């Protein structure tokens, strides 16, 4: 039997130590080290217990009877990049024009923001054209089915939104969607290998667990091992993988930095819990530009695209004191947003400065310029600045 020992892993940067410290010696964060039991030969183990994967890789390498070697760059065959439409123009734009076969996309966001809804809705459009596997590790098959039914009803509601309507019309019989409610990594891998779907969705990567690793689901080692195993299989059989990831209390994608290196694109889905609009952004994208913004609205029957978000981010139509309309550029799309400012006499020793939706340093800088060059005595006033609609602009 393999001997097990403990290591301490930093949940923020993934660094490992043998000893517990209050502060991570690698990234300097406090109280981020957690204990993990490890078997003494994990690397050898994982290589041994995936005979199917190993054999598949070997076949590719030994094609033509010799091991794979380097080759001149001009001899490398080019495949045209066939992107798969997600069914949403907003989603496609953030992806850089659609889903690339064999790519790994991590979709992060707070719980309840609508990640599962977004992906299940895209499934409707994608499954009409290609094979899709939806792995639900958090919800039961019944729960997914209920949501699916609820979203399906949207297609029959009055056509308020032409884009969303169109994508649903493309899915008349809703063809090839397979549903698997499973948390065991090994079974998920087997299903991926036997079905070989064009698209697979894992909801969520933190809920999957590898029984051979001792640690709890959602721990750094588990997330890393599960994502790496899924990535190997996705690249080998050209399956586009969409992984759902949760966001930690600090707002970073849980799981943590290790996952961001492994995947081709990192998207974040954010929004105000109390407002209905949701923003989809690309933080990293190997197949497209970052800083693209997709805007959705959460309705009672799922997410709808907002193709003219400026309407959403403009406050009242009447011009009023303290507001200014600016044009911000988010990705390739200009957005008209409203800035709201309030200046009032301070009753504190040092005046309050508060910025929402815009970097606080920018506010400080502008206030300093106004004070120095226009002679406005702003250091005696509290200054508040906000972007209407909960948007963040640069």
Nearest approach, Cβ of 117 to Mg ion (angstroms)?
8
| Residue 309 sits in the site that holds ligand TYD (CB under 6 A) | no
Contact range with ligand TYD by CB under 6 A, out of 113-121, 185-193, 338-346, 358-366:
113-121
Q: Tokens 């050209």 map to which residue?
A: 238
Long-range contacts for 221-228 (Cβ within 8 Å, ≥24 apart)? 221/9, 221/36, 221/38, 223/254, 223/255, 223/258, 223/259, 224/14, 224/255, 224/258, 224/259, 224/262, 225/46, 225/185, 226/185, 227/104, 227/255, 227/258, 227/259, 227/262, 227/263, 228/262
| Residue 116 sits in the site that holds Mg ion (CB under 5 A) | yes
* Binding residue for ligand TYD, selected from 181, 298, 341, 393, defined by CB under 6 A: 298
The Cα 276–Cα 64 span in angstroms is 57
Instruction: CB nearer to Mg ion: give 205 or 335.
Output: 205
Nearest approach, Cβ of 134 to ligand TYD (angstroms)?
12
* Binding residue for ligand TYD, selected from 71, 300, 317, 394, defined by CB under 6 A: 300
Nearest approach, Cβ of 115 to Mg ion (angstroms)?
5
Contact range with Mg ion by CB under 5 A, out of 18-26, 78-86, 110-118, 124-132:
110-118
From the list ligand TYD, Mg ion, none, partner contacted by residue 301 (C-beta under 5 to 8 A by kind): ligand TYD
* Binding residue for ligand TYD, selected from 60, 112, 158, 375, defined by CB under 6 A: 112
* Binding residue for ligand TYD, selected from 302, 309, 357, 389, defined by CB under 6 A: 302
What 8-state DSSP symbol labels residue 100?
Answer: P
Contact range with Mg ion by CB under 5 A, out of 112-120, 301-309, 327-335, 372-380:
112-120
Percent of the chain as helix, strand, coil, to the nearest 5: 30, 30, 40
Count Cβ atoms below 10 Å from residue 188 Cβ, excluding itself: 22
The Cα 162–Cα 305 span in angstroms is 9
From the list ligand TYD, Mg ion, none, partner contacted by residue 245 (C-beta under 5 to 8 A by kind): none
Cβ pair 263, 106 in contact under 8 A? yes
Q: Tokens 């439409």 map to which residue?
A: 85
The Cα 259–Cα 297 span in angstroms is 28
Instruction: CB nearer to ligand TYD: give 109 or 255.
Output: 109
Which residues make up the interface to ligand TYD (CB under 6 A)?
A: 109, 111-117, 147, 150, 298, 300-302
Rule CB under 5 A: which residues touch Mg ion?
A: 116
């Amino acid at each position: 039997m393999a001997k097990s020992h403990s290591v301490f892993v930093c949940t923020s940067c993934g660094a490992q130590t043998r000893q517990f410290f209050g502060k991570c010696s690698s990234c300097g964060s406090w109280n981020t080290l957690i204990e993990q039991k490890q078997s003494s030969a994990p690397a050898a183990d994982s290589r041994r217990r995936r005979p199917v994967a190993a054999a598949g890789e070997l076949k590719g390498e030994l094609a033509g009877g010799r091991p794979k070697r380097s080759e001149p760059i001009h001899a490398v065959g080019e495949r045209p990049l066939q992107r798969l439409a997600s069914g949403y123009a907003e989603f496609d734009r953030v992806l850089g024009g659609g889903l690339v076969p064999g790519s790994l996309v991590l979709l992060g966001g707070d719980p309840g923001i609508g990640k599962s809804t977004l992906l299940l809705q895209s499934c409707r459009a994608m499954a009409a054209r290609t094979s899709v596997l939806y792995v639900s590790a958090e919800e039961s098959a019944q729960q997914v089915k209920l949501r699916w039914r609820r979203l399906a009803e949207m297609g029959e509601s009055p056509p308020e939104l032409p884009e969303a309507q169109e994508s649903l019309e493309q899915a008349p019989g809703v063809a090839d969607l397979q549903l698997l409610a499973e948390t065991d990594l090994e079974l998920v891998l087997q299903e991926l290998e036997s079905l070989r779907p064009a698209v697979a969705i894992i909801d969520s990567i933190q809920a999957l667990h590898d029984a051979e690793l001792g640690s709890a689901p959602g721990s750094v080692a588990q997330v890393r091992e599960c994502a790496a195993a899924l990535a190997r299989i996705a690249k080998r059989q050209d399956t586009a993988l969409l992984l759902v990831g949760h966001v930690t209390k600090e707002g970073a994608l849980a799981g943590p930095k290790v996952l961001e290196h492994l995947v081709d694109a990192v998207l974040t889905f954010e929004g105000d819990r109390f407002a209905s609009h949701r923003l989809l952004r690309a933080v990293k994208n190997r197949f497209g530009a970052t800083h693209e913004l997709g805007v959705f609205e959460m309705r009672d029957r799922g997410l709808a695209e907002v193709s003219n978000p400026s309407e959403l981010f403009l406050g009242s139509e009447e011009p009023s004191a303290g507001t200014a309309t600016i044009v911000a550029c988010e990705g390739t799309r200009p957005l008209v947003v409203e800035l709201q400012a309030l200046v009032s006499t301070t009753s504190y020793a040092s005046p309050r400065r508060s910025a929402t939706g815009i970097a606080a340093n920018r506010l400080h800088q502008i206030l300093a310029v106004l004070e120095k060059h226009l002679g406005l005595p702003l250091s005696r006033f509290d200054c508040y600045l906000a972007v209407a609609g909960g948007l963040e602009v640069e």
